[in-house]
Every structure is written in structure tokens, then in C-alpha cells.
Amino acid sequence: MLLVVVAALALAIWVYLIAGRGGFWRTSKFDDLAPASGLSAWPTIAVVVPARDEAAGVADCVKSILGQPYPGELSMILIDDQSQDGTAQIANEAAISIGASDRLTVLSGRPLPSGWTGKLWAVKQGLSLVESRPVLPDYVLLTDADIVYSGDVVMRLVARAESDQLAMTSVMATLRCESFAEKYLIPAFIFFFNMLYPFSWVRDRNSPVAAAAGGCILARWDALRSSGGIDAIRGSLIDDCALGARLKTQGPVWLGFSQNVKSVRASETVAEVGRMISRSAYAQLHYSLALLIGVIVAMAIVFLAPVVVTVLGHDLSRECAAVAWLLMALAFQPTLRYYKQSALWGLALPAIALAYMVFTINSAVQHFQGRGGMWKGRPQAQVSSSQ
């Protein structure tokens, strides 16, 4: 009887997720940046890029942004957050190589003060420089040093922001998916993010759901300032969603996909991807042990039980479990197609979810050991545990 109940519950949850959670799984539906329409005057943009030991990708980032065919004024501030790998020099050389050195300013980041996460402190320094200039920009583009822009995507972002009068226009960057570890874990990262923050609900101005993708956030300058700016979220590990929530209070927001915004950051091992997930997983649960236990139990029912009961159950329990497993595999297909991965990964989603459960538990363990939010040698979770 217990197996029947568990299998039926898992099946009911998957029916709800597919039919009632904002079509989160329909990836292509949200890859809808239209061609840039002509504007009589293109707004000015200040690009702010925090960078800490980003030698591997910063040159491509700088050249891709400063090389955008944007008709308006576009300049970049890169904050070198005490890098040890020559990030600043590489960025300057990249700008010089395309004749855009006059539009790049490289700041040497100051030491991290108490109460701030490293990335947000770097962003704060960049925005302070923007604010000190005699002419303020219309928009600020917050992006990461591993993100590469292609085509006319910045024009498209601005055109969407202007036509819909958006406070924020954000793109979930297409993450690198080449190594086995990336194929195993990266598409699911996008799938789970969309499940937590359905893009259609984020876009709906009447929905309380708010989020953003930190790799590419185009914010209207006045909306960013009115929302409290970066200072208001200075201790947040999940800074993109925290900022998205604040900007949504200032006006409509848009969150979507684009193959023209890509991350070149490589993760060759499962452990590397795991560190990225563990960095903020426990913060997502508000550092609550009760929530952690609840989430692990829920994930076990939703993702693991269908496999276990399909193998060990009988009759009705097995049938319900098998259908639930099939539904989760089908729901995963659009994300797999977007990342050009085999459909068979859909059947492996329970095993992928198990890895995410381990990473989430590890995130909590790191927090209790005082190493929470570890990123590039710097623990940060204790900053936001009291926020």
C-alpha cells in the first residue's frame, strides 16, 4: 500500500509540474528575443563586469561586448577583484586588439569589507564609478567575465527593454556543455532553475515570482537606483534572483534564453560543477535545516521513487511509477534539445537529481563548517546567513 501511495503522489506531482507550473519545461518558448527594431535614439549603456581570476575567458568577454554592433554609446568597466592570473592585463590587451581601449576602464578592486559577498562588492565599485561620471547611463548591463555575446543581442535586449518599458531584461546564458560532467549536470541545472522560477511567472507583472540570471542583466539605471541598488542585496549569495526581485518592484521584467549569450567557463569534472551548485544551494533554503530535510524528502519522492517503485513495485504501484518516470523524462526533453544532448539523458534524470541532492547536503555541511559559499578560495555564506 505504501508503494502505491508514494508512486501515485510522484505521478500527481509530475502532472502538476507539466500542466500547472507555467510551462517551465518549454525552453524554446522563452527563447524569444525578436530582431532589434529601429529606435530614433539608442540609449547609453554602461557595462559592469566583476572579474576574479578570469584569465581563461575575459578576453573573449571583453571583445564580444565592446565589439557589439550597438549604435548607441556603450562603455565597459571591469573590476579586477584581486586576481592572481593577469586578468586585468588580458582584458586591456583584448580591448586594444579591437581598437576599443578608450571604452574600457579596468579598476583594481579594493579589499572585501565585512557584510559583502565578493562579486557584489566588485559590482558596487563599478557602479560607484558610473555614478561619479557627469552623465549617467540609461541602462547598466551587469554581466560576468566568462560570458560571450554574439550577433546583435545587446541591441535586441535594449529594443525589448524599450518597447516593453522594462525595469530589467535578463538572459539565462547558454552554459558550456562539452565534458561528461557538463552533459551530466548542466542541462539539469537549467531545468531545475526554471522549475523554481518559471520564466512565464517571472515575466508576469501580477505574479510574485521574481528572478534573474546573473550572467546577463540589463537594468534601467533609474530602476536600479530606486530599488536600493547593490547595497540592498550586498550579502546575498543568490544575488541575481535577489536583484531580480527588487527590480520587479520598479516595473515589469523579462527573463529568457538566447543562444547569443554563452558562458565559456569550463567544468571538466563533476566536482567542479558540484562546487558551483554547493556554493549557494543551502542559501536557497534560507539556511534552514528543516527546509533542507523537507527538500531532500521531496526530491526523493519526485525523482527517485519512480525508479525504485518501477523496479520493486507491483501492478498499480509499478504502473504509476513508470508513468511518473516517463513524464519526467519527457519534461526534460526540451532542455536537452536546447543543449543538443541525447534524449536518453531524460531517463537518467533521477540519477542526476541524486547528485544535486548530494551537492545540496554538502552545501549545508560547508555552511556549518564555516566554509559556506566557497568560491575561488573565499567563503561567503556567513555574510548572508543573517540577512
CATH 3.90.550.10 domain locations along the chain: 27-267
- How much is the average pLDDT of 118-133? 95
DSSP for 224-272, please give it: HHHTTTGGGGTT-SSHHHHHHHHHHTTS-EEEEEEEEEEE-----SHHH
- How much is the average pLDDT of 316-327? 97
The share of the chain scoring above pLDDT 70, in percent, equals 96
- How much is the average pLDDT of 189-209? 97
Exposure string for 246-258, b = 16+ CB within 10 A, e = fewer: bbbebbbbbbbbb
pLDDT at 237: 86
Report residue 363's pLDDT band, with 50, 70 and 90 as the boundaries: very high
pLDDT at 374: 64
Residue 376 predicted with pLDDT over 70? no
Separation between Cα atoms, residue 278 and residue 263, nearest integer Å: 19
Three cell numbers, residue 46 = 554602461
Q: Determine how many CB atoms are found less than 10 A away from the CB of residue 10.
A: 27
Three cell numbers, residue 123 = 559590482
pLDDT at 373: 65
pLDDT at 145: 96
pLDDT at 378: 65
In degrees, rounded to 5, the angle at the alpha carbon of residue 34 between the alpha carbons of residues 31 and 36 is 140
The share of the chain scoring above pLDDT 90, in percent, equals 86
pLDDT at 1: 83
Identity of residue 179: S
Separation between Cα atoms, residue 366 and residue 373, nearest integer Å: 8
| Per-residue pLDDT tens over the stretch 241-262 | 999 999 999 999 999 999 999 9
Correct CATH for 27-267 of 3.90.1170.50, 1.20.1250.20, 3.90.550.10, 3.40.50.720? 3.90.550.10
pLDDT at 220: 98
| Per-residue pLDDT tens over the stretch 67-77 | 999 999 999 99
Residue 162 predicted with pLDDT over 60? yes
- How much is the average pLDDT of 198-205? 98
Separation between Cα atoms, residue 378 and residue 143, nearest integer Å: 20
| Per-residue pLDDT tens over the stretch 53-72 | 999 999 999 999 999 999 99
| Per-residue pLDDT tens over the stretch 265-275 | 999 999 999 99
Question: Which residues have C-beta within 8 Å of that of residue 234, sequence separation ≥ 6?
Answer: 115, 116, 117, 120, 121, 124
Q: What mean pLDDT, rounded, does the chain reach? A: 94
For the chain, how far is it from start to end, CA to CA, in angstroms?
A: 44
Q: What are phi and psi of 152, to 5 degrees?
A: -110, 40
Three cell numbers, residue 325 = 518516470
Residue 345's SS3 state is helix
Residue 387 predicted with pLDDT over 50? no
Whole-model pTM: value is 0.93
pLDDT at 385: 42
Residue 386 predicted with pLDDT over 50? no
Three cell numbers, residue 165 = 518599458
pLDDT at 371: 73
Separation between Cα atoms, residue 143 and residue 138, nearest integer Å: 16
Residue 383 predicted with pLDDT over 60? no
pLDDT at 279: 87
Give the distance, in angstroms, between the CA of residue 67 and the centroid of all CA atoms in the same chain.
Answer: 24
pLDDT at 40: 85
Lowest mean pLDDT among 5-14, 118-127, 148-157, 275-284: 275-284
